[in-house]
Structure 1
Amino acid sequence: MLDFNKYCCLTMFDENNRLTLVQNRKPTNTVALICYCIAWFILIFIAIWFFVSGDITYLTRGVDDMGNRCEVDEPYLFPMNFLEPSKSLWICVAQCPNETITTRSELYQLGKERNIKLCNYSVPLEDYMNEELYPKGVKGPCPVMPVYSSIPILGRCVLDPTSLSSFAFNTSKYYTILQNLEDKFKTSCGDLNISLSTIVLVLLCTKLMYIIFIWIIPFITAVLIRILLVLLVILSGAGSITCWILYWNQGDELSEFQKQTIEILNSLKSYFFFQGENYLTAILLTILTIVLLLITPWIWKHLYFVTEVFRHSRSAICWMPCMILLPILTAFAILAVALFISLSVLFGLTMAYGEMKAPRLINLFMHKINIIGIEIPTGILVLYHIFMLIWTWEFLIDFQQLSISIAVAEWFFKSKQSSRMTRVFHAVILTLRYHLGTVIFGSLIISLMRMFRAVLSILEAKMLALKKKRATGASGCLKCIQSILRFCNSAAYTVTAVNGTPFCESSSRASALIGGHLMKFTLVRTLCSLFLFIGKLLISTLSAIMLSSLLKNNNEINRSIVPVIVVFLLAYIYGRMFFSIYDSVVNSMAIIYCIVQTECREDRRSYFTEDQIEFFEKMKDDPVPSQIPHHNEDANENL
């Protein structure tokens, strides 16, 4: 059990005895930063080695099973049996056969007239029809008949599906499907081009709707949630009482009102797929009523805290609109890193492919690549690249979270001491200068969890294939643990933003804060996740409906369904990006509020007894007792 009081009184106080941020920040978790730099140095060194030693042309010009590179005169790889390519002998040929060959005489004519020699290099052209001396086979020397028509893809002769028409399926249906898909694709592109201006207009309205939704979240929390709770309690109580009355009077003659009530209850039960008797319905409604009566006072008590967190989160976003740039920059950085690592892996695979005597994709990852005298399996190098991609991905996301936390903390404690346009960039600079190690250490924990979960998912899939049902569920549990770790990391970054402490110390303090205010955090996270999910779904749907109504009378549009789907997806993606900022701000604001409340409570211990403090807090559950009165004015000015 964490000692909550042990981690109190950690925030700095200024000369006016007001809570403030740490003044002199110091670099945190430098060991993690050094390890991350070493890991990236190794990755860059391996990538340079791959770029120098690898050859991207192996993608278009392969190597045959004798180790010969397919040159310009014979640039294509051809298998002896298209139906068993992994077991076949592959040779270099001048051209992929574009027609099905069924006899050795046709094979000879193809080589004589078009210089397409499909037998092994040691077989003379004049002996192509000598089946006794040069028989057909998967390993050669001549191909298995029939030789199906093929098409060249990345320097490999790939079986043309239409050549199997007389053996496998009807090609007319195949071509009809492809032609319909091509026509629909061209039509959809034309519709998107025509409706482009309307789509842009709707997306601008979507952005406005998201801002309005953020604006009204505090009102929804303060008013509508209370009304909803009261209505739920009343309806549940009335329903349970009605069911019990009907149950006790079921032997008597029913009045018209009671018959109508029973019909309504039966229709409701069928709607919720419940087929139980009336007394079971009464019991369930009674249990629901008792649960609602128990949790309603608890929710009611903490709604003020939740409302204030949402209200100040809205004010922080309106005061610092530059925060919306952070997820965009993060997305571009992730794409750049993913492109670099993907190219490195691609060049590494071509390097291994060029070194193999008989290249096969199934053996490619087992081949050992020699790097400065060290032989390392290709699979290990690929896994290292994947791990660095995941680690850097998580690092960039956590870097965004810590930058937002510092910006919110400075806005919360310093008010107008810095410009609203430069505060976010100042937070980014502080993160780069002092807390990169903290972000790296926190992202490493999540990355290891993701890798372990991926391995476990693969094992689960294999065990399920063997019909071992006990394997299921472990990856789901790890997913829940990963979500909890993300939230704990977010809380730790907020403590780092306020106190400037390393990751482990910040995690301990954040865990103590969460443990001391568990109910408040639970309510904040539940309502925030619920509101944001409803907001994304509702606004995306409204955007799609708006575009559909605008395109309804446009005769140039063939089908409006494709532009509507595109707008829905774009609106949903923008909502995820915009709400990710709001979600991060809410997490940071909730932690900061709890820090302030905890510090103020500990500060009051010097002047009041425990009973007096408890009496004060029962009078009013004020999460920020007179510590930041200026923010009410700022919020009114900005909003």
Structure 2
Amino acid sequence: WFWGESGGFWGSPCRRPPFPGRFPSPLPRRGGGGGPKIGGKKPFLFYFDIVKCASPLVLLEFQCPTTQICVSQCPDRYLTYLGAYGSRPELEYYRQFCLPEFKNLQKPPIEVLKDKECPAMLIPSTPLVRRCFPAIQSKKGVIMVGNQTTYDDGRGHRRNVTELLEGAKKANVVLEARQLAMKIFEDYTVSWYWIIIGLVIAMVASLIFIVLLRFLAGVMVWVMIVMVILVLGYGIFHCYMEYAKLKGEAGSDVSLADLGFQTDLRVYLHLRQTWLAFMIILCIVEAVIILLLIFLRKRILIAIALIREASRAIGHVMMSLLFPLCTFFLLCLCIAYWASTAVFLSTSNEAVYKVFNETACQFSGQPCRPETFNTSNVTKQCPDAQCLFAFYGGETAYHKYLIVLQFFNIFMFFWLVNFVIALGQVTLAGAFASYYWAFKKPDDMPAFPLFSAFGRALRYHTGSLAFGSLILAIVQVIRVILEYLDHRLKAADNRLAKFLLSCLKCCFWCLEKFIKFLNRNAYIMIAVYGTNFCTSARNAFSLLMRNIIRVAVLDKVTDFLFFLGKLLIVGSVGILAFFFFTQRIKLVQDTAPSLNYYWVPILTVIVGSYLIAHGFFSVYGMCVDTLFLCFCEDLERNDGSPERPYYMSPELSEILLKGNLEPSKSADSQG
């Protein structure tokens, strides 16, 4: 594993932090009171028994269940308290690793160890990230500490040094996780307002892009395609320049496999292999996009016509661009409900303490109470026993079935979220359908199409929306249960069960995608005809199957173009954030905050920009899907004659009724 010196106070709690009282101290030595004293004369943290760091409690509490003190130096020799007791110089040396209040050197060793005033043994250690860790080394594949493969644990037992290795690894997990979390938190505290500015820029860019699509759909689509290619091209060029710049630098040729996982991700940016991997990935993405554009160039012209028609529809229903804010607010309420319920269920458990003992004890594993443990019979019969926190839980029927309540809470969360999304989809579909089916656009449209569609959805279609959301929620909960079972079976060596579980996970993933696609089109039919969910889903599926080529080609090409639009906005804002937070823009070089990990705000801005762009483009996507389904229905119900004229606009019919998308004979016969 990797050890690295940490700057600032993050390396050790034995150093004075710049924000006193904001961060917790190490494990209290008695289960109450304070941790090690903070000071500059004792900068290293010493573990009484680092083997205990291998306990599962480390992962539960992110603490090693052993006494920790601050020392001026780490031990440099093997020594047990029983061995040091007979020599005054060795006892004086040993004393610096005992509790500060330990003064009585004449106290019997058995009582000293029982009261845990001194460690049972000392092991040659080295100060790493201001912690005393065993000086582990490997000679010819043999793990050794101080040229020994075993050590005396201070209680008359010889133990293998591999136990020290395991304890040191778990202690390092605690250290790295805390250090990473604290540094990320610190980065957010100094960059949060710049992150908000970046998200505002993404929102303005998305809004400008949508408005320009209203008037310059064809030009904007081609500009978007060219800009995406240029942005990816610049990314390839930048990766190549970084790759070439690192040539010949010390340590830059280390492979990612040899380096392993590092909490300081800046280490990876000093490797040539990292930039080579980035360059290869960007080249593959660039090549795929260019090939798709070459093979779909004719379909892109038709998709532009559909996007232009969607722009006209949105131009007559401008409030639809703000509707994602309503959906976002309702989703926040759903998340708040789920999170608060989950927290209440989780905290309804009681802290369970159990007896832990290093030697054989009849009370090991039994529940105990810390308040009365020292006066109980357990300490008399098992002097080394401790009453330690085990887990949160209980023995009542409520606590036993608490996991069922958590799954039900997740189910309700999925149901509510899917209902909110369905409500937004049927509202937008109703508004855009009123545009398509208006014979004289926009004179035949309602005065407030969005509010009218929202009112119809709440008044007439809540049952259909709830039923469609229920089906999807059931599938999603089944997927969660399968993931839970997969997590539980990781330790088991049952290949057949793992194979079947993987097959089920794959099948239900495909089923969820299909249901989402079917529900989306069913909600459009609900908005157009007002039929129930089952009838709408059946009619939508039949209509799509009769126009499967149009669905596969035209609808998906528009989805691809919208994806390029989101990629352009996210890429542009991400590049701007990268240059700003890495202080490469000279005009604002002094304004950019100093960060531990500049990728923290950059990734936050990128993810937030994608969500914002997705919110705006989701309106366009719903508009295109609605117009496309209405177009297919229009072709089957009408033939363009004076008796049965098409409801589509002349511009749309001029392009969609030509070439490869000529209406099929079957569609005409049904008309």
Q: CA deviation at 1:579?
A: 1.3
Relative to structure 1, is the Cα distance of residues 85 and 620 closer, same or farther in structure 2, using a 3 angstrom cutoff? Answer: closer
Structure 2 partner of 1:39: none
Q: Is residue 592 from structure 1 mapped to residue 630 from structure 2 by the alignment?
A: yes
Distance 1:401 1:173 in 2: 45
Aligned counterpart for 2:587 among listed residues 534, 539, 553 = 553
**1:533-612 counterparts in 2 under 5 A?**
533-545=563-575, 548=579, 551-557=585-591, 567-601=605-639
Aligned counterpart for 2:513 among listed residues 468, 473, 483 = 483
Relative to structure 1, is the Cα distance of residues 397 and 75 closer, same or farther in structure 2, using a 3 angstrom cutoff? Answer: farther
Q: CA deviation at 1:589?
A: 1.5
User: Is the contact between residue 467 and residue 533 of structure 2 (CA under 8 Å) also seen in structure 1?
Assistant: yes
Structure 1 partner of 2:475: 449
Higher relative CO (Cα under 8 Å, sequence separation at least 6) belongs to 1
**Which ranges in structure 1 are unaligned for 5 or more consecutive residues?**
1-59, 61-69, 91-95, 115-127, 137-141, 149-160, 226-270, 273-288, 371-375, 608-615, 624-639
Structure 2 partner of 1:165: 133
Distance 1:575 1:495 in 2: 27
Q: For residues 478-516 of structure 1, what are the alpha-carbon distances to aligned partners after superposition, in whole Å with 9 as ceiling and x for unaligned?
A: 323322211111111111111110000101111111111
Structure 2 partner of 1:369: 398
Structure 1 partner of 2:528: 498
Distance 1:619 1:214 in 2: 26
Structure 2 partner of 1:634: none
Structure 1 partner of 2:431: 407
User: Is the contact between residue 203 and residue 567 of structure 1 (CA under 8 Å) also seen in structure 2?
Assistant: no
Q: Is residue 507 from structure 1 mapped to residue 537 from structure 2 by the alignment?
A: yes
355-364 or 550-559: bigger deviation: 355-364
User: Is the contact between residue 453 and residue 478 of structure 1 (CA under 8 Å) also seen in structure 2?
Assistant: yes
Distance 2:657 2:338 in 1: 55
The percent identity for this pair of structures is: 19
**Which ranges in structure 2 are unaligned for 5 or more consecutive residues?**
1-23, 25-29, 36-48, 61-65, 72-79, 86-94, 122-128, 135-163, 226-279, 282-290, 354-366, 370-388, 646-655, 664-671
Relative to structure 1, is the Cα distance of residues 536 and 304 closer, same or farther in structure 2, using a 3 angstrom cutoff? Answer: closer
Relative to structure 1, is the Cα distance of residues 367 and 484 closer, same or farther in structure 2, using a 3 angstrom cutoff? Answer: same
Q: Is residue 347 from structure 1 mapped to residue 348 from structure 2 by the alignment?
A: no
Q: Is residue 424 from structure 1 mapped to residue 450 from structure 2 by the alignment?
A: yes
Distance 2:34 2:187 in 1: 37
Structure 2 partner of 1:327: 324
User: Is the contact between residue 526 and residue 532 of structure 2 (CA under 8 Å) also seen in structure 1?
Assistant: yes
Q: CA deviation at 1:442?
A: 0.6
Q: CA deviation at 1:453?
A: 2.1
417-426 or 174-183: bigger deviation: 174-183
Amino acid at match of 1:554: V
Q: CA deviation at 1:419?
A: 8.2
Distance 2:482 2:322 in 1: 36
Amino acid at match of 1:353: E
Q: CA deviation at 1:531?
A: 1.0
SS in 2 for 1:99: strand
Amino acid at match of 1:584: M
SS in 2 for 1:501: coil
Distance 1:383 1:177 in 2: 28
Flag the structure with higher helix content.
1
Q: CA deviation at 1:197?
A: 6.2
Relative to structure 1, is the Cα distance of residues 362 and 574 closer, same or farther in structure 2, using a 3 angstrom cutoff? Answer: same
Q: CA deviation at 1:569?
A: 3.7
User: Is the contact between residue 409 and residue 497 of structure 1 (CA under 8 Å) also seen in structure 2?
Assistant: yes
Amino acid at match of 1:556: D
Relative to structure 1, is the Cα distance of residues 385 and 224 closer, same or farther in structure 2, using a 3 angstrom cutoff? Answer: closer
Q: CA deviation at 1:316?
A: 2.0
Amino acid at match of 1:551: I
Relative to structure 1, is the Cα distance of residues 408 and 307 closer, same or farther in structure 2, using a 3 angstrom cutoff? Answer: same
User: Is the contact between residue 425 and residue 523 of structure 2 (CA under 8 Å) also seen in structure 1?
Assistant: yes
Distance 2:54 2:558 in 1: 55
Aligned counterpart for 2:421 among listed residues 370, 392, 397 = 397
Distance 1:583 1:308 in 2: 14
Q: CA deviation at 1:596?
A: 1.6
SS in 2 for 1:329: helix
TM-score, length-normalised on structure 2? 0.51
Distance 1:473 1:393 in 2: 27
SS in 1 for 2:398: strand
Relative to structure 1, is the Cα distance of residues 86 and 399 closer, same or farther in structure 2, using a 3 angstrom cutoff? Answer: same
Amino acid at match of 1:391: W
Aligned counterpart for 1:433 among listed residues 432, 439, 459 = 459
Q: CA deviation at 1:313?
A: 1.7
**1:87-98 counterparts in 2 under 5 A?**
none
User: Is the contact between residue 402 and residue 497 of structure 1 (CA under 8 Å) also seen in structure 2?
Assistant: yes
Cα root mean square deviation, aligned: 5.8
Distance 2:485 2:177 in 1: 37
**1:282-293 counterparts in 2 under 5 A?**
none
Relative to structure 1, is the Cα distance of residues 174 and 499 closer, same or farther in structure 2, using a 3 angstrom cutoff? Answer: closer
Q: CA deviation at 1:445?
A: 1.2
Distance 1:442 1:180 in 2: 42
Structure 2 partner of 1:207: 207
Amino acid at match of 1:599: R
Q: For residues 115-138 of structure 1, what are the alpha-carbon distances to aligned partners after superposition, in whole Å with 9 as ceiling and x for unaligned?
A: xxxxxxxxxxxxx97958x996xx
User: Is the contact between residue 398 and residue 439 of structure 1 (CA under 8 Å) also seen in structure 2?
Assistant: yes
Distance 1:421 1:189 in 2: 47
User: Is the contact between residue 551 and residue 557 of structure 1 (CA under 8 Å) also seen in structure 2?
Assistant: no
TM-score, length-normalised on structure 1? 0.54
Q: CA deviation at 1:570?
A: 3.5
Relative to structure 1, is the Cα distance of residues 354 and 362 closer, same or farther in structure 2, using a 3 angstrom cutoff? Answer: closer
Structure 1 partner of 2:230: none
SS in 2 for 1:556: coil
Distance 2:219 2:448 in 1: 30
Distance 1:517 1:401 in 2: 22
Q: CA deviation at 1:366?
A: 7.5
Distance 1:476 1:318 in 2: 41
Distance 1:207 1:220 in 2: 13
Q: CA deviation at 1:395?
A: 1.1
SS in 2 for 1:512: helix
Relative to structure 1, is the Cα distance of residues 165 and 509 closer, same or farther in structure 2, using a 3 angstrom cutoff? Answer: same
Aligned counterpart for 1:385 among listed residues 409, 420, 431 = 409
SS in 1 for 2:588: coil
Q: How many residues align?
A: 438
Distance 1:448 1:427 in 2: 28
Relative to structure 1, is the Cα distance of residues 324 and 344 closer, same or farther in structure 2, using a 3 angstrom cutoff? Answer: same
Q: For residues 587-620 of structure 1, what are the alpha-carbon distances to aligned partners after superposition, in whole Å with 9 as ceiling and x for unaligned?
A: 222111112221115999999xxxxxxxx97899
User: Is the contact between residue 432 and residue 626 of structure 2 (CA under 8 Å) also seen in structure 1?
Assistant: yes
**1:521-536 counterparts in 2 under 5 A?**
521-536=551-566
Relative to structure 1, is the Cα distance of residues 546 and 513 closer, same or farther in structure 2, using a 3 angstrom cutoff? Answer: same
Relative to structure 1, is the Cα distance of residues 358 and 574 closer, same or farther in structure 2, using a 3 angstrom cutoff? Answer: farther
